[in-house]
Amino acid sequence: MKSQPAKTQRGELRRLVFDSQVLRANPLGDPTGRDVWCYLPPGYDETQRYPVFFVLAGYLGRGRGELSDGAWSPPLDERLDAMIARFDAEPIIAVFPDCQTRLGGSQYVNSTAIGRYEDYVCDELVPFIDAQLATKGDGHRAVLGKSSGGYGALRLAMRRPGLFSAVASHSGDCCFELCYAPDFAGCARTIERSGGVDRFLADFEKTAKKRQDQIQALSVLAMAAAYSPALPSGSSKKSVAASLDLPFDIHDLTRVDAIWQRWVEHDPFVMVDDDSHAEALRQLKALFIDVGTRDEYNLDFAARRLHAKLEELGIRHRYEEFDDGHRGLSYRFERSIPLLSRMLV
* Helix residue ranges per DSSP H, 87-236: 117-119, 126-132, 148-159, 176-179, 184-194, 197-206, 212-227
Distance (Å, whole) CA 252 – CA 267: 25
Phi-psi region of 298 (alpha: psi -120 to 50; beta: other; left: phi over 0): left
Distance (Å, whole) CA 87 – CA 260: 46
Q: Sign of dihedral through CA atoms 81, 84, 89, 95?
A: positive
pLDDT value of residue 8: 79
Residue 38, phi then psi, degrees to nearest 5: -130, 140
Distance (Å, whole) CA 193 – CA 204: 13
Among 127, 249, 104, residue whose Cα is nearest residue 184: 249
pLDDT value of residue 6: 55
Single pTM value for the model: 0.95
The number of beta carbons lying within 10 Å of the beta carbon of residue 88 is: 16
pLDDT value of residue 4: 46
Distances 281 to 110, 155, 167, 203 between C-alpha atoms, Å: 21, 10, 9, 42
Contact 286, 315 (CB under 8 A): no
pLDDT tens, per residue, the chain with 345 residues:
454 445 679 999 999 999 999 999 999 999 999 999 999 999 999 999 999 999 999 999 999 999 998 878 899 999 999 999 999 999 999 999 999 999 999 999 999 999 999 999 999 999 999 999 999 999 999 999 999 999 999 999 999 999 999 999 999 999 999 999 999 999 999 999 999 999 999 999 999 999 999 999 999 999 999 999 998 754 455 699 999 999 999 999 999 999 999 999 999 999 999 999 999 999 999 999 999 999 999 999 999 999 999 999 999 999 999 999 999 999 999 999 999 999 998
pLDDT value of residue 70: 80
